[in-house]
Homo-oligomer: A and B are copies of this chain.
Amino acid sequence: MEFEDATRALAGLAQPTRLRLFRRLIAAGSAGQAAGELAAALGVPNNTLSSHLACLKNAGLIGSRRDGRSIIYSVEIDAVRALLGFLVDDCCGGRPELCAGLVESKVESVPMQPNNEQRS
């Protein structure tokens, strides 16, 4: 991942509404969720949320597909992985001991539950 892409991705996540949006989309998994549902769930006007969706999409962190009248957004997991990889490279590249064990410990602490439906 290039420096500029990383900046854009970080800027995408560096705003409360968008970070909430991103978390919700992560929870939704590859099934994704419609723009309108997302706006209602987050309590944000449709057009406002639309601009946030565009920002995340421009950053490459999410993608969209049309389904009838709705547009379904979902996380581009490869881009998320690339961002994490960029941070890990920069953060731990010369000092692996600092980040080793971080992801593993998280993985073990989660009992591999299936994709639970989001509420609210």
CB distance from A105 to the nearest CB of B (A): 9
Known interface pairs A19-B6, A26-B90; A99-B103 also in contact (CB < 8 Å)? yes
CB distance from A67 to the nearest CB of B (A): 22
CB distance from A92 to the nearest CB of B (A): 7
Q: B residues within 8 A CB of A31?
A: none
Q: B residues within 8 A CB of A94?
A: 26-27, 29, 110, 113, 115-116
Interface bin, chain A:
35 or more
Copies in the complex: 2
Residues A7 and B19 in contact, CB atoms below 8 Å apart? yes
* A71 contacts partner chain B, Cβ-Cβ < 8 Å: no
Known interface pairs A84-B87, A106-B96; A15-B23 also in contact (CB < 8 Å)? no
Residues B113 and A92 in contact, CB atoms below 8 Å apart? no
Q: B residues within 8 A CB of A27?
A: 94
* A81 contacts partner chain B, Cβ-Cβ < 8 Å: yes
With the chains together, A7 CA to B15 CA distance in Å?
Answer: 6
Which residues of A does B touch, CB under 8 Å?
Answer: 3-4, 6-7, 10-11, 13-16, 19-20, 22-23, 26-27, 29, 77, 80-81, 83-85, 87-96, 98-104, 106-107, 110, 112-113, 115-116
